[in-house]
Amino acid sequence: MNPLHDNLSRRGFLAGSLAAGTGLAFSPWSLKADETKPKKKLAVVTTEWRFHSHAWHMAERFLTGYPINGKWHHPPFDVVTAYVDQFPDNDLSRGRAKEFGFKITPTIAEALRNGKDKLDVDAVLIIGEHGKYDKSDVGQTKYPRYEFFKAVTDVFAEDGKVVPIFNDKHLSWNWDWAKEMVDISREQKIPFLAGSSLPVTWRMPSIDMPYGAEVEEIMSVAIGGTDSYDFHALEVMQCMAERRKGGETGVVSMQALRGDDVWEAMDAGPWNAGGWDPQLFKACLTRTQTLAQPETYSHRYPTTAQIREWVKKPIAYRFEYADGLKGTMLLMNGLVNDFTFAAKLKGQKDPLSTLFYLPPNPNVVYSAALMSNAEKTFLTGKPPYPVERTLLTGGLVEAGMQSLAQDSKKLETPHLAVEYQVPDKTLFWVS
């Protein structure tokens, strides 16, 4: 828990960070299954189960296993039931149920009770992503993650027993509901893990935010749209920011920009002038593996004119933490096709920067990295990192979309006073 010293050299800083990463304090395969014991029972609760859906990414890791540390790992779980909310034409759930022998139930309660009168599973995997659902007044998809969670925890309350829950991505589109989910998990003493694969996938280079670092400004340059990939990019930032000196203190304001307002902010220069540290933007672009290029060129840094030409609909979220840390999340479709991070640390000339690496389809091993953490939670009852990270990140998404809906108004966010501490362990995959 030593803080980063102001006079730490760049070489020593990177070496220390790399050592933290390659030490891989999270080694789940001390959790080797005892093959003499019966497998535990897992219930899956999902919006839909089709090719490339999140159920395909995650639930199937518990059907067929996944690679880790050069071995193929089979979790000590049987998927025994599934509740599936919607069945598109390319549904896979029925075929998977027939192949692997689990039941698709008409209600969540029946999935959890598995044909019995009381709770009869050892863990619950909630996946509320994809499917056809209404939009909120600011454009958020009303995925029923809260409704799923409440149905699960109602069974827990009725049956007088709880089991661990993993919730994919953010908790709810509605802040009050998301906060209630965390409160219920605390009140009922439910081991509760949530979030996405970005914090636990590989990084290039394999570095973490030094524990206890004094951090002044952070950035992520990413792809995708609002209410989806903005969550991933913000989670990239949050899993690094939470390791700073003093731990997490919450966010006090959010302003989201789009279109020409983004270019004006970029031209403005530093944060206090309405923009962001240009060194951080450049550091992110040095880490991307998908930087756009003019025809016939290879790996040249783009000009400002090229960036504006290629990125048709830029989005920026500018937000401030209670302890003074500044953050900028940029969605730059047309310029990059991945997720990078950079940070300005006190006393350091050069930014800390890295790529959060997502291997391509069809293997998408980053979902295995995430499910290894879900599995650890299911087996030990101890989530590797706090659910408050997901609570805060989801709140940032909602605040950003509300700002966009109000013509980029800067919003005060006293409700995002989420404080928490994370362990010193480095949890992302390195092998």
User: How do beta strands 203-204 and 215-222 pair?
Assistant: unpaired
The residues, ordered by sequence, that sit 6+ positions from 332 with a Cβ below 8 Å of its Cβ are: 221, 222, 223, 307, 311, 314
Write out the two tokens for 421: 């501490």
Q: How far is CA 99 from CA 48, 102, 257, 288, in A?
A: 18, 8, 48, 40
Tell me: pLDDT of 34 over 70: no
Q: Where are the beta strands (DSSP E) in 38-122?
A: 40-46, 66-68, 71-73, 77-84, 103-104
- pLDDT score, position 7: 34
Burial call 216-241: b when 16+ CB within 10 Å, e when fewer = bbbbbbbbbebbebbbbbbbbbbbbb
- pLDDT score, position 424: 93
Tell me: pLDDT of 352 over 60: yes
* Residue scoring higher pLDDT (10 or 151): 151
CATH architecture of the domain with residue range 40-195: 3-Layer(aba) Sandwich (3.40)
- pLDDT score, position 335: 98
Band of pLDDT at residue 22, cut at 50, 70 and 90: very low
- pLDDT score, position 431: 72
pLDDT in tens, 129-171: 999 999 999 999 999 999 999 999 999 999 999 999 999 999 9
Hey, where are the domains in the chain? Answer: 40-195, 201-360+385-416
What type of residue sits at position 115?
G
Q: How far is CA 248 from CA 120, 251, 321, 421, in A?
A: 37, 9, 9, 6
Full 3-state SS string of 295-356: CCCCCCCCCHHHHHHHCCCCEEEEEEECCCCEEEEEECECCECCEEEEEEECCCCCCEEEEE
For the chain, how many helices (H) and strands (E)?
13, 16
d(CA 103, CA 89): 20
Contact present, 126 and 108 (Cβ < 8 Å): no
Share of the chain above pLDDT 70, in %: 92
Tell me: pLDDT of 92 over 50: yes
Burial call 12-40: b when 16+ CB within 10 Å, e when fewer = ebeebbeebbeebebebeeeebeeeeebb
Average pLDDT for residues 23-33, to the nearest whole number? 45
Average pLDDT for residues 60-66, to the nearest whole number? 96
Which of the residue ranges 229-243, 333-347, 351-365 would you say has the lowest mean pLDDT?
A: 351-365
d(CA 268, CA 262): 10
pLDDT in tens, 178-224: 999 999 999 999 999 999 999 999 999 999 999 999 999 999 999 99
Q: Do domains 40-195 and 201-360+385-416 have the same CATH topology?
A: no
CATH architecture of the domain with residue range 201-360+385-416: 2-Layer Sandwich (3.30)
Closest by Cα among 235, 404, 242, 415 to 317 = 404
pLDDT in tens, 373-391: 999 999 999 999 999 999 9
pLDDT in tens, 217-268: 999 999 999 999 999 999 999 999 999 999 999 999 999 999 999 999 999 9
* Residue scoring higher pLDDT (20 or 38): 38
- pLDDT score, position 361: 77
User: How do beta strands 411-412 and 352-356 pair?
Assistant: unpaired
Closest by Cα among 125, 181, 189 to 160 = 189
- pLDDT score, position 316: 98
Chain mean pLDDT for the chain:
92
At 216, is the secondary structure helix, strand, or coil?
A: strand
Q: What is the pTM of this model?
A: 0.91
